[in-house]
Structure 1
Amino acid sequence: MLLGLDWLTVASFLGAGVLLNLTPGADVMFASASGMSGGPRVGVAAAFGVALGGLMHSVLAAAGLAVILQANPLAYDVVRYAGAAYLLFLAVKSWRAGPPDEAQGVARLGRAIRRGFVTNALNPKVALFVLAFLPQFTRPEAGPVWAQILLLGGLFSTTGFFITAGYGVLAGVAGQALGRAAGWLDRVAAIVFGALALRLLLD
């Protein structure tokens, strides 16, 4: 038993979560674009930021705040437009990026974590997904549902981090193999960020 949940339920949840995380989506695209333009470590850092954003959505779902986004179209649109605007900002920054400054490696990792977190935190679709997905594996008789949502959200974010980081590392290795002298990988990352913004707005 894990916080009142039987191991079969937890195993079923983990299996479903891994399958969902393996399917390339916005998180994978973001980490891959980050890794491609910044290297494997930046891809991992971006994945870590995305995972932190996922944890935030789990906390909001446990607190019931995600219901507000589901019931209030205006609140949903405000968050969605803010997320799209941030992605467009990242697209412009990547397009204009100059040669990487290796002396600022730690700062670059911190920036990647922050960008991953903000991008995921400002995606209301993630909040609605968490609200729809996690409660399916809770059992009211097993204890407080909010605690179960936090537990499941933590497990989902953890498995998601390793899978998304794997994509980020692979993209980073590929980017290093291709070379960044011409700076064209930054342009590719900018296009990906712009496409994610449009996807957020149009879906």
Structure 2
Amino acid sequence: MTMSERDPDEVTLTRAEYARVVQLLERDAIRQVVVRYVRGADRLDEELERGAYWPDGYDNHGLFRGNAQDFVTWALGLGGQLAGIQHLLGQSFIEIEGDGAKCETYFQVCESSSRDTPTDDLRLLGGRYVDILQKRDDVWKISHRDVVVDWSASLHDVDRFPGVREFTAGDRAPDDYSYHPISMKRDGKAT
């Protein structure tokens, strides 16, 4: 009989199994900090983006080096000038030691300059977020971030995907489609 087939009230874990479950939960909580950060950056959701960092956190984003909360203010201003931005996260390598953790997460980001022209200019960046996180009052957040860039590209006058205007367009928080229950939308009408 496997653990999933047992009555939850009858399941017991060894100390090693319990420690492994706790470690998995901690790793997931750390990964979710990075996920919330990029969602905040992509949707210009200030609360999500700020919430990834401790108030005394530090961010080295190349063009900006300083307090992470000041970085968020700066980044929101830049993001507001773009037609769209999208981060894609890759694997995370996480090492936890007590209430501290190191996390390296691969990323790709693409920025779009326009939606209303026949072509677009795209800026692409690939690299890694190298984060030091701290757990305070049972909450993980970034205390120090260095952005390491492995490659970059700039593409000009790129043709748009055929029929792209027929798709739902991404937007900023709180107007983006993902901020509303999917079941509430059908062809622009609430159901």
Coarse TM-score class (shorter-chain normalised): under 0.3
What TM-score do the two structures reach when normalised by structure 1?
0.23
What TM-score do the two structures reach when normalised by structure 2?
0.24
Which structure would you say has the larger Rg? Answer: 2
More relative contact order, 1 or 2 (CA 8 Å, 6+ apart): 1
Structure showing the higher helix proportion among its residues: 1
